[in-house]
Amino acid sequence: MSLPLPIRILLWPLSQIYGVVARLRIVLYEKGVLKRRRLKAPVISIGNLTVGGTGKTPMVLYLAKKFLADGKRVGILSRGYGGSSGTSDEIELLKQRLGNHVKFGVGADRYEQGSRMESAAPVDIFLLDDGFQHVQLARDVDILMMDGSRKLQKEWLLPSGTLREPISAFGRADILVVTRTFDVSRVTTPHDDAVFYAQTKLLGFRNLGAKETFLALAQLANHSFFAFCGLGNPRAFYSDLTRWNLKVEGTMSFRDHHRYGDQDAAQILSAVRGARATALVTTEKDEQNLQGVDFGELPVYVAVIETVLSSEREFHALLERLLQERRGAVA
C-alpha cells in the first residue's frame, strides 16, 4: 500500500540507512564473512524485490508440478508469513493443490527445516518460497519475480517505499520472470537472455470451501460479481477478472494475509447491496482465511488459476542447465 508523499519524505532518511544495511549484508555473505549453509539437495529460490504480490506462490506451484511430473521428490521451504502454528494461507493453498505429493518445511530457519526434512526422507529438489533476501541459505538457482506493470525505477526503499533491496540487486538473479505484461520496454535487467514472461490462466471457479469440479466461466454468465481479496497486489486480481470478461460491479481490498471475520462479511455484504451484484468472487489464498465466515445465501466463488510461461521449453532447458552447472561446482 502506497504511503502519502509527505510521510514517504519523512521516512526517506530511514530508507537510505535501510539501503546501506541491505547492501552491506549481501556483501558480507558474498565475501564469506557471513557463512551460508547448504542443504544436500539443490535449492531453487523464488523471490522478488518488492513488498507485495508478484506471483511467487503460483510460480512455486508451477515448479512443484513440473518437478513432480519429472518424478522428483519435492520439498517446499517457507517462512510462513502471515500465519501461525507452522502454516500460512499460502502454504495451505499449496497443500490444497499439491496434496501429500510434496513435503513442507515452514519456519524462520529454512536450513533447519530443510535438514529436518532430509533426515526424515530423501528430497531431490527444494523450492525456497520468497527466498531472494534469505541469503543465509545457499541456493543453486535464483528466480526473481517482477510485476511488469510497475516501474521499479520509481519505487523507493523500505520503509518509505516498497523495495526490499536496491534495483541493482537484479544482478544476483539467474532468471527473471516478468508477470502481468509482455511489454519488453518495461523491463530493465542485465539478464536479457534469461527473461521470461508469465500470465495468469483461469482454470475455472469453485464454490467457497468446496472441492467439486470447476465451473466454467460460461456457467456464471448470468451473475454480476463483487470481488474482494487480501493480497499484496489486489489490482492484479481485479485486472485478471476484467481480462477474463467477468462483469465486476465493485471491489473491496484488505491487507495482505487478512483473516476475515463476521464484521468483514457484514461490510462486504453492505457493499454488495450498493453495487447490486449477485455473487462474490475471491482468490484461493483468501479462501484459506475465510473459514467459518458466513455470507448468507449469497454465492461465493473462488477463482482457480495457474501460471503460464512464455518460451516454456527454453525456460526448462535453462533451469536444468543451471542446476547441473551449480551442482557440479558444489561437488
pLDDT tens figures, 131-156: 999 999 999 999 999 988 777 778 89
Place of cell 540487486: 169
Mean pLDDT, range 3-26, rounded to an integer: 95
Q: What is the mean pLDDT of residues 202-214?
A: 88
* Predicted local distance difference test score (pLDDT) of residue 85: 67
Confidence of residue 53 (pLDDT cuts 50, 70, 90): confident
Confidence band of 189 (pLDDT split at 50, 70, 90): low
- What average pLDDT does this structure show over 258-283? 96
pLDDT value of position 331: 52
**pLDDT of the residue at 293:** 96
Edge-first strand listing for the sheet containing 248-253: 102-106, 74-78, 125-129, 43-48, 141-147, 175-179, 195-207, 300-309, 279-283, 225-229, 248-253
CATH 3.40.50 assigned to 201-305 = yes
- Better pLDDT: 183 or 236: 236
> What phi and psi values does residue 52 have, to the nearest 5 degrees?
115, 170
Q: Where would I find the H helices in 79-209?
A: 89-98, 110-120
The pLDDT value recorded for residue 127 is 98
* Predicted local distance difference test score (pLDDT) of residue 68: 98
What rounded mean pLDDT belongs to the chain?
91
Residue 80: band (very low, low, confident or very high) from pLDDT cuts 50, 70, 90: confident
Q: What is the pLDDT of residue 1?
A: 55
The Cα 175–Cα 322 span in angstroms is 10
Confidence bin at 90 (pLDDT 50/70/90)? very high
pLDDT confidence of residue 137? 98
52 to 5, 24, 236: CA distances (angstroms): 19, 24, 11
What is the value of pTM for the model shown?
0.92
**Three-state secondary-structure class, residue 132:** coil
Quote the pLDDT of residue 220: 93
Q: What confidence category does residue 71 fall into, taking pLDDT thresholds of 50, 70 and 90?
A: very high
Does residue 84 have a pLDDT over 70?
no
Q: Domain 5-198+309-330: what homologous superfamily?
A: P-loop containing nucleotide triphosphate hydrolases (3.40.50.300)
Cell 496434496 belongs to 99
CA distance 139 to 295: 44
Q: What are the residue ranges of CATH 3.40.50.300 in the chain?
A: 5-198+309-330
The pLDDT of residue 3 is 86
